[in-house]
Chains A and B, each alone.
Chain A
Amino acid sequence: MATVPLRVVDATKRFQVGGHDQTVFEQVSLEIERERIFALLGPSGCGKSTLLRAIASLEPLSEGRVELGAEDGAHPSVGIAFQQPLLLPWLTVQENVRLGLRYAANRGAGDHESVARILAAFGIAPLADSYPDELSGGEAQRVALARTVVTQPQVVLLDEPFGPLDPLTRASLQDWLVGIQQSLRLTVVIVTHDVDEAVYLGDRVALMSAGPGRIRHVWETARGPSRTRSSAESSALREEILRAYMGVNAGAAAARAAGGLALAAQGAPRFARSALDPAPTQEGTR
């Protein structure tokens, strides 16, 4: 389907730990809509980062598949930005942004001019010749995002990109991301453990539970392009998501207390399921 640039079907990931299979996440199915922000919310250890890396084919799936829908001849591709900016310290900002364009796989995706344009659009043009150690955390993260976006991926995956930043920078970068996403018409999947961030940014919010990771519920935030940090509707939704999230979190904590992930694979989801969710493994919409 042309409007679904990315679909995850029945994705399961298992690791071998000490001769035992450990399931990180199982039966995860997602549909990402074009030019929207999809927020994947979950407690730490629910496998959301692993899922994101699997979507970016940095990590093989044990079962299931990731489908990328190509649009008008463009090669299907995903770009990913990590929690740490991972800027190469020996390159300037400009050279860091250009890094992906030096690779044969991205030939034709951009040139010097598109690098200059994206530097301007991301507000980092004055820093073009600076080195990563001269940047603030927020600046470095914007450079990292520019490096991901400049290769023109169909879907941009963000793995807690604002995690290590202070709240003010975080808030202003969230606003900035919304602006960039709308003007560049990006399709974005953002992973976060912050309910407010998920509700504020996400056009859709999926809640993932831990041990093993499963999609518990998907909410449509059903709003236009404009976002406010506090409205009656969003705060009601926020309440609802927060309640579900706390349930999932308690499940994850109980699982950890009960002796680690191996036990969690049996115990915790059942507890969380009975407490909370009417349709445990199926994707639901509000």
Chain B
Amino acid sequence: MRRPDEAATRVLSARRIAAVGYPVAGLAVFLALWWGATRLLVEPGSFLSQFAPVPAFESLAAMLQKGALNRHIYASVERITVGLLIASAVGIPLGLALGGLRWFALAATPITGFVRMISPLSWTPLAIILFGVGDPPVYFLIAIGSVWPIALSTAAGVQALDRAWIMLARSLRASRVETVRTVIWPGVRPDVLTGLRIGTTTAWIILVPAEMLGVDSGLGFFILDARDRFDYPGMVAAIILIGAIGLVIDRLTSWLLTPRRRARTSRVAEPQPVPAPLPADYRI
């Protein structure tokens, strides 16, 4: 392989600078607007100035240093994990059935389409009646919100599966189980993972309001608690943290769930010549 020359390196580093520079610039503009809105447009010492970025970040740093938020972060992450596990356990089989069984799809579509359009939080009273107060209704709300992206994406994956691949597996004398293991599941997996990623984001969005109901831990609870204590910088700090953790979760799932092709020797995109016929005594 040719060694990359200097010009190519320069282009590469210019691209890298742009990849870092633009997001940093965007963030700076956002912070400046926020600062301006809470410092320049309002009177000093007024109520709104308590929502300014500087006290919020100071409060966040102080709380993180003291570990005051650890309990809440842990509780929130645990709830989203359990909720997503439930949603996957229901959503993946449901999606496989919706995509693979025509009669089931026809029978279920009116119901799924209807239930899907109900905001997960509308279930809150029912969830509390059914599961009492504490973690279980939160699991329920997260699961019922994130089950749909998982199920629908899985169903789309099954439908997009090339039926000829199944015939191919049969032609190579694969058993049913082998066909599922080597062709159907790997074929559907990327769509399941896409569904999981969307489901994770949905779950994180549902989590915070769900935690404002009848629990005494978690970041959603902390926001209400900070409000009640008139700790507005602390409240804004929690909002920042929720956004940051959500971003990390999204990036992490996307990184974990993106299939990676293993590193290999470079492939030059030129057609391989058709080889000469083999010696007559050649055997496989």
Contact = CB atoms under 8 A, between A and B. Distances in A.
Interface of A: 53, 56, 58, 77, 79-80, 82, 84, 86, 88, 90, 99-100, 102-106, 110, 114, 117-118, 121-124, 126-127, 129-131, 134, 136, 138-139, 142, 147-152, 172-173, 175-176, 178-180, 182-184
B263 to A, nearest CB: 9
Nearest to B268: A126
B265 interface: yes
Majority secondary structure, B binding face? loop
Contacts of A138: 271, 274
Nearest to A83: B164
A230 B283 CA distance: 31
A100 B186 contact: no
A136 B280 contact: no
B129 to A, nearest CB: 46
B272 A103 contact: no
Nearest to B282: A183
A131 B261 contact: yes
A218 B143 CA distance: 65
A112 to B, nearest CB: 13
Nearest to A185: B283
Nearest to A100: B172
A114 B284 contact: yes
B277 to A, nearest CB: 3
A182 B277 contact: yes
Interface size class of B (residues with CB under 8 A): 35 or more
Contacts of B262: 129
23 contacts: A79-B172, A82-B164, A82-B171, A86-B164, A99-B172, A103-B174, A103-B175, A103-B182, A104-B175, A105-B174, A105-B175, A117-B284, A118-B284, A129-B264, A129-B265, A131-B261, A134-B267, A148-B172, A152-B284, A173-B274, A175-B277, A184-B278, A184-B282
Closest 10 pairs (CB-CB, A-B):
A179-B277, A123-B275, A183-B278, A105-B173, A100-B172, A129-B264, A183-B282, A176-B274, A103-B174, A172-B274
Contacts of A175: 274, 277
Contacts of A104: 175, 178
Interface of B: 162, 164-165, 167-175, 178, 182-183, 186-187, 259, 261-262, 264-265, 267, 269, 271-280, 282-284
B173 A127 contact: no
A179 B170 contact: no
A126 B269 CA distance: 11
Contact of A102 (B170, B182, B273, B279): B182
A186 to B, nearest CB: 10
Given A175-B274, A179-B276, A151 B164 contact: no
Nearest to B186: A90
Given A99-B182, A175-B277, 7 more contacts: A88-B165, A90-B187, A123-B275, A134-B267, A142-B274, A179-B278, A182-B280
B272 A86 contact: no
